[in-house]
Structure 1
Amino acid sequence: MIDQTPSGYRDRMHQILDQLLEASSQRDMQRRFEEVSGEIEENASAALEVLEDGLLDATAVLTLPGKYRRRLRTTNMLERFIEEIRRREKPVRIFPNIGSVERLVGALCAETHEEWSTGRRYLTMDAFFEWKATHQTRELEAEEPTEPAPLAV
């Protein structure tokens, strides 16, 4: 999206994106987006199209409880995992075949899974399941019709 933004407007676009991504919910993000969309259209209409297409996907993490947002909105977990693969790969330098690479990465995946299952957990899901249950209840209540539907004749 920044590539679609004129160079003189990029600093302001960064500020706008920071404001949008700091929203507390998707509604708040949508409200903020509506406030600045006119300005963006005047200065970077091509970037506005890209932003409109990907904004809900980029802010999907805002629908989750705040406890999980920080860890899920970043790639830190994945970066740490890749760093550990590289650390273990350096002594080998050149792998004899693809199977040896698969064994190394597979062993690291199994080790990480075991660590998260039994020991230190990156995310505990108890609060998420409680949050999900309350949201499903609210959605069901909102879907219930208040008046009986008319019968088709």
Structure 2
Amino acid sequence: MALYQINLDDALLHGLFQQDGGVARLLEQVLNQILQAQVAEQIQAAPYERTEERQGYRNGTYPHTLTTRVGRLTLRVP
């Protein structure tokens, strides 16, 4: 099982309980960071990194809307 480091900005955390959709924005940001970390793990290279261990190439992302109980999430699927 891989360990992921998730980064959240202060504005997102302050708006978590003050605005509608705060939990949805938090979940969207966390899921997008996990997707990017999984791609880096699969390819064995960070974005724009050139290494000998690199297993493939990134080819951008496309938006995918996911409807959950907390709201609609727009995921950037690699």
TM-score exceeds 0.5: no
* Greater fraction of residues in helix: 1
**Which is higher, the Rg of structure 1 or of structure 2?**
1
**TM-score, normalisation: structure 1:** 0.24
Kindly indicate whether structure 1 or structure 2 has the higher relative contact order, using CA contacts under 8 Å at least 6 residues apart: 2
